[in-house]
Amino acid sequence: MMPFRSAFRSSLRHPAVAAAVLALPLALCGFAHAQNKYPDANPAVTPQTTHMQGTWWMARHEAILQSIHDHPDTQLLMIGDSITNNYDKAQPPDQNFQPTWQQFYAPRKALNLGFSGDTTANVLWRLDHGEVAGLHPKVAVLLIGTNNTGWAHQTAEETETGIDAVVNDLERRLPQTHILLLGILPSDVSSEKTAADQAVNRYLATCYGENARVTYLDIGSIFYRDGKLDTSMFYDPRLSHPRGALHPATDAQHKMAEAIEPTLAKLMGDEPRMPLADMKDINTALIPVDWLEQDSYDWYARHHAELALARATQPQLVLIGDSITHYWAGPPRATRVHGPGSWQHAFGQLSVINMGFGWDRTQNVLWRLRQGEFEGMHPKWVVINIGTNNLTGTVHCRTNTPQEVAGGVSAIIDEVHQRSPQSRILLMAIFPRGFTPDSPLRAPITATNRILAARYAHDPSVTWIDIGKQFLQPDGTLPHDIMPDGTHPSDKGYELWADALIKAGVHP
């Protein structure tokens, strides 16, 4: 069940509620922790100067105050610790971050408020002492918390409260500024820190998933390769006195900027500093984001309906996907229903939830899963049919490669397994698209399915189901009576899917 504070945050999409909440003296997320867990003793919310030796920290603070005086037209704030502070460095090969700063942030009249070693308590002190006074930026990017769970040895809940306090302070001081809150980046400093950071990020995802003033973005997936942290992306292991991976190196910091850029450009109201089609250093299919494409329904309303069902229902079967799933049938009811007869044939009196959303890509599904749509449910079967929209690009999102799409599908499977390890996953191959064999999407769909088949055809926890050939004529053409628009099945097309699920063991 979604925590009360998370449900309350979700209501902030409604202007009247948002206005009332933003008038409160303390953000609700922080209020919940501060009142219930750490009324007075949490070091993460007690403003303080640095623990580090030397005068550089205060000298940097004074320099920032002068920069604010000299640049009152600052439009972008980058607030954080050493990872943000590093943008000042130009030391090839591992710590040359100025080119990234000059490409993505300097043209937006950005100010670097990153201080090495800072915790949330240090940021609160700096805010108390004028570091945003008189400014009216469009966006403040906040990346903080890794030192709370690192050298400060604070708990996840203490760190969460500290981040809430910083967000609340920024909301109060900068009422016209949108906050882009980033999840704590992964590291290999210790298993204890990793566990705390993951807990913090789970909290931030649910707490700030829908907020009128705050956008939460978790870009941690860019640091993983084949499910493991790629420590070569960090410079700490290559220092003269090697340490655990914590600070992204030159190329990784550029990848971070790419991962942030689409969301940041949207919030800034300007054009991306790099064309979306060129951002191929990161797998966008793995970065959880909410609604990307306009469609014929209210995406958030459907999300809230799914949350309500998750709280009220223990389904026997859950379907996860895009419009192909969305328009089949079942609760919550779609504005279009293409296959009521085949739905009844497949599921009968089974308790089923349809978690299909029109135009969704894997990254949208990841966002929805982390926002509680599957929370507390333990269905016998989970049917996953996603990825076809990843293979099409728009002004909001670039086209993904088959390898990237397969990575996104795998991430969804992992998320479902984490929440309900006993559920049997039925993974559908992406259905064919286009009426003729040479239709542009046929080849990438085939390539994606080939990767997924190799990965899951012999996985005992996943049942791989490929019915693509059943939709097609012997010459490879796609009949109009099976898919009238070349993408979405008719009831006749859904009958083929229904029969395949029954054959795989689903039964009323």
Kindly report, residue by residue over 223-272, the tens digit of the pLDDT.
Answer: 999 889 999 999 999 999 999 999 999 999 999 999 999 999 999 999 99
Active site includes 423? no
Phi and psi for 273 in degrees, rounded to 5? -70, -5
Q: What is the DSSP letter of 116?
A: T
Same domain, 206 and 351: no
Q: Has residue 96 been placed in a domain?
A: yes
Alpha-carbon distance 402 to 397, whole Å?
15
Please tell me the predicted confidence (pLDDT) of residue 194: 98
For residue 422, pLDDT over 90 is answered with yes
pLDDT > 70: what percent of the chain? 92
Strand order in the sheet with 76-80: 110-114, 76-80, 139-143, 178-182, 214-217
Alpha-carbon distance 326 to 304, whole Å?
15
Same domain, 210 and 81: yes
pLDDT > 90: what percent of the chain? 88
Domains contained in the chain, number = 2
Which one from 278, 298, 414, 485 is the annotated catalytic residue?
485
Among 142, 156, 147, CA closest to 211: 142
Q: Assign 224 to helix, strand or coil.
A: strand
Q: Has residue 78 been placed in a domain?
A: yes
Place of tokens 């290999």: 188
Identify whether the C-beta of residue 489 lies closer than 8 Å to the C-beta of residue 468: no
Place of tokens 């655990």: 244
Average pLDDT, integer, range 444-452: 98
pLDDT bin (cut points 50, 70, 90) of residue 26 is very low
- Specify the higher pLDDT residue, 54 or 267: 267
Residues 6+ apart with CB under 8 A from 368: 303, 306, 355, 357, 360
Q: Has residue 236 been placed in a domain?
A: no
For residue 1, pLDDT over 50 is answered with no
Active site includes 351? no
- CATH number of the domain bearing residue 441: 3.40.50.1110
pLDDT bin (cut points 50, 70, 90) of residue 40 is low
For residue 31, pLDDT over 70 is answered with no
Active site includes 136? no
Please tell me the predicted confidence (pLDDT) of residue 507: 84
Q: Has residue 359 been placed in a domain?
A: yes
For residue 23, pLDDT over 70 is answered with no
Please tell me the predicted confidence (pLDDT) of residue 61: 97
Give the Cα-Cα-Cα angle 358, 360, 364 (nearest 5 degrees).
140
Q: Has residue 223 been placed in a domain?
A: no
Please tell me the predicted confidence (pLDDT) of residue 41: 80
Dihedral angle of Cα 488, 490, 496, 501, to the nearest 10 degrees: 70
Average pLDDT, integer, range 380-404: 97
pLDDT bin (cut points 50, 70, 90) of residue 6 is very low
Range of the domain at 264: 4-216+244-274
Which one from 61, 304, 338, 488 is the annotated catalytic residue?
488
| Cα-to-chain-centroid distance, residue 420 | 20
Kindly list the distances between the CA atom of residue 95 and the CA atoms of 148, 161, 249, in Å, as whole numbers in the listed order: 23, 31, 6
Average model confidence (pLDDT) across the chain:
92
Same domain, 250 and 304: no
Average pLDDT, integer, range 433-462: 97
Which one from 323, 410, 420, 423 is the annotated catalytic residue?
323
Q: Bridge-partner residues for 424, per DSSP?
A: 381
